[in-house]
Amino acid sequence: MKMTKQQLKKIIKEELSGVLNEMGPDFPGEKFPQGDEEMDQALDVEAPPPAPRNAEEEMNQWFTANPNASADEIRDMWSNISFSYRTGR
């Protein structure tokens, strides 16, 4: 029996939801995917990363994408990112 990618995602989503509902209280403070959109994103390895909510998250995403950046590049990028959040973009 062949299964489409969509069918497999649906099965995984259903199973994962059940497990998270059972184990949720065991992980206080952890944020588990809520709703179809978050679950789809959690299961989709090709999905773009979520938009950063603050300067620190944005800098972390930039640094992850640029692990070999020089100290000057890191300082310049942090200056640009933090300034954009201070000014409200």
Q: For the segment 44-80, what is each residue's pLDDT rounded down to a tens digit?
A: 656 666 777 788 888 888 888 898 989 999 899 988 8
pTM assigned to the model: 0.42
Q: Which amino acid is at 80?
A: N
* Cβ atoms of residues 22 and 53 within 8 Å: no
Residue 7 CB-half CA count within 13 A: 4
Same domain (yes/no): 34, 14: yes
| Within a domain: 11 | yes
Share of the chain above pLDDT 70, in %: 65
Is residue 62 within 8 Å of 81, Cβ to Cβ? yes
Its domain, for residue 62, covers: 55-86
Regarding whether 59 and 35 lie in a shared domain, the answer is: no
Apex CA 7: angle with CA 3 and CA 13, to 5°? 135
